[in-house]
Amino acid sequence: MKILLIGEYSRLHNSLKEGLQALGHEVTIIGTGDNFKQFPVDYSISPKFITSNRFFVFLNKAFFKVFNSDLQLLEKGIRFYLFLPKQKNFDIVQLINSNAIETYPFFSKYLLKKVFKNNRKSFLLICGEDTPIIDFLLLKKMRYSILSPLFEDEKLRESYYFSLKYTQKNYRDLFEFVKQNIQKIIVSDLDYKIPLPEYELIPNPINTDKIKAESLVISNKIIIFLGINEGSYLKKGASYFEKTLKIIEQKYPDQVEIIISKNLPYREYIQLYDKAHIILDQVFGYDQGYNALEAMAKGKVVFTGAEKEFEEYYNLTEKVCINALANVDYLVNELSFLIENPEEIIAIGKRSSAFVEKEHHYIKIAQKYLEAWTNS
């Protein structure tokens, strides 16, 4: 089959592509590559003109101040439009988000109308924030969520613009338009399955042929890594990890090495975290996102979402990662236990890579997507 994947946020679509290609299918990805992360895409719609020199950057800032709108969104839409001739006659189209083109909603609808018309079947993958997810989280029915910091401090509303925009009429209309023109919605983990139980969950695909599990060796210091994306700083709960690390650094000055990065391209980020034994990912998740799973595939010990819902879903009796919570004392205690019991780091690392191999192998997951697409 010919398959078109629109959008790329976490390398999810790249791993899915690799799995589908291994099964003999032809796959194309179009997207921005998620800005500074620079994930590979076949056709890039990343804005280049608006960011090409200081004058255009200044012009865009002025435009934003006057009209509260970003010209980069327009450029993404135009670049997508120019690629429309290459987006025809696919058997399957999958959007990674209702706003996968990342342009103005009215422009997205215009462009997607052509995509839906020129291809056979279309699907929506919910693997991040989208209208029904934010709607559900705003009901405060979950024990905690990425919106918890906002609920505690309304002054953070501006920092949550990216999340809350999905409740605006234009983005809500875009989601409804997409929903009416697709065969099926798929969710990627329990953070989206819990709010949307009616949709099928297909776990994130991880290419364990490329990401090899390595047995952790602790010969000197235990290395702890925190990779910060400033755009998701609040939603990941990075401040809790930062406070925790300050305490750990003072408590175990001779036993730990701490590495903190900010807004690195994917390749540079991976080079840093490859050195680590322990990865600090997020505190507001119930399940693991893509970043955590890649680290687990390598046999790292990851502090991430691993709630009871996750353990029950996968019938787990032993830890494959550490359930991180928005509680500094708790995080300090969990890290302290691992530092004082390094053999547990080795044991969890082995279980984490085995878990990813079993539940997230990219070819097995690609097969599940094929079944979901062909049966819809």
Which segments of the chain are extended strands (E)? 2-6, 26-31, 43-44, 92-95, 121-126, 184-187, 200-201, 222-228, 256-262, 278-280, 301-304, 322-323
Quick one: pLDDT at residue 352? 98
Whether the predicted pLDDT of 48 surpasses 90: no
More confident residue, 270 or 166: 166
102-125 mean pLDDT:
98
253-279 mean pLDDT:
91
46 Cβ partners below 8 Å, 6+ apart?
32, 33, 35, 76, 79
Residue 169: exposed, middle, or buried by beta-carbon count in 10 A (0-12, 13-18, 19+)?
A: exposed
48-74 mean pLDDT:
64
25-41 mean pLDDT:
88
Q: Mean pLDDT, the chain, as a whole number?
A: 94
Task: Supply the pTM of this predicted model.
Answer: 0.93
Quick one: pLDDT at residue 33? 84
Q: How confident is the model at residue 214 (pLDDT cuts 50, 70, 90)?
A: confident
What is the spatial distance between Cα 20 and Cα 367, in angstroms, rounded to a whole number? 8
Q: How confident is the model at residue 181 (pLDDT cuts 50, 70, 90)?
A: very high
Query: Which of 34-43, 54-63, 314-323 bottoms out in mean pLDDT, i.e. has the lowest?
Result: 54-63
More confident residue, 30 or 67: 30
Quick one: pLDDT at residue 21? 98
Q: How confident is the model at residue 270 (pLDDT cuts 50, 70, 90)?
A: confident
Quick one: pLDDT at residue 69? 65
What's the helix, strand, coil split of the chain in %, to 5? 50, 15, 35
Quick one: pLDDT at residue 63? 54
Quick one: pLDDT at residue 273? 86
Query: How many CB atoms neighbour CB 374 within 10 A?
Result: 11
145-157 mean pLDDT:
97
Instruction: Give per-residue pLDDT as tens, 330-340.
Output: 999 999 999 99
Whether the predicted pLDDT of 346 surpasses 80: yes
Encoded tokens for 181: 């023109």
- CA distances, 106 to each of 113, 125, 180, 241 (Å): 11, 20, 16, 39
Query: How many CB atoms neighbour CB 375 within 10 A?
Result: 9
Whether the predicted pLDDT of 36 surpasses 80: no
| Cβ(319)–Cβ(295) below 8 Å | no
Q: What angle do CA 46, 49, 54 make, to 5 degrees?
A: 120
Provide φ and ψ at 182, rounded to 5°: -115, 165
Instruction: Give per-residue pLDDT as tens, 157-169.
Output: 999 999 999 999 9
* Percent of the chain whose pLDDT exceeds 70: 94
More confident residue, 279 or 66: 279
Quick one: pLDDT at residue 59? 59
Whether the predicted pLDDT of 72 surpasses 70: yes
Quick one: pLDDT at residue 212? 85
More confident residue, 277 or 47: 277
Q: What angle do CA 218, 223, 229 make, to 5 degrees?
A: 150
357-365 mean pLDDT:
98
What is the spatial distance between Cα 197 and Cα 241, in angstroms, rounded to a whole number? 31
Quick one: pLDDT at residue 265? 82
Quick one: pLDDT at residue 263? 87
Residues in the chain: 376
Q: How confident is the model at residue 49 (pLDDT cuts 50, 70, 90)?
A: low
Quick one: pLDDT at residue 39? 87
Whether the predicted pLDDT of 57 surpasses 70: no
Identify the residue whose tokens are 């405060």: 140
- CA distances, 368 to each of 91, 144, 186, 354 (Å): 16, 30, 11, 20
- CA distances, 195 to each of 115, 138, 152 (Å): 28, 11, 21
What is the spatial distance between Cα 199 and Cα 286, in angstroms, rounded to a whole number? 17
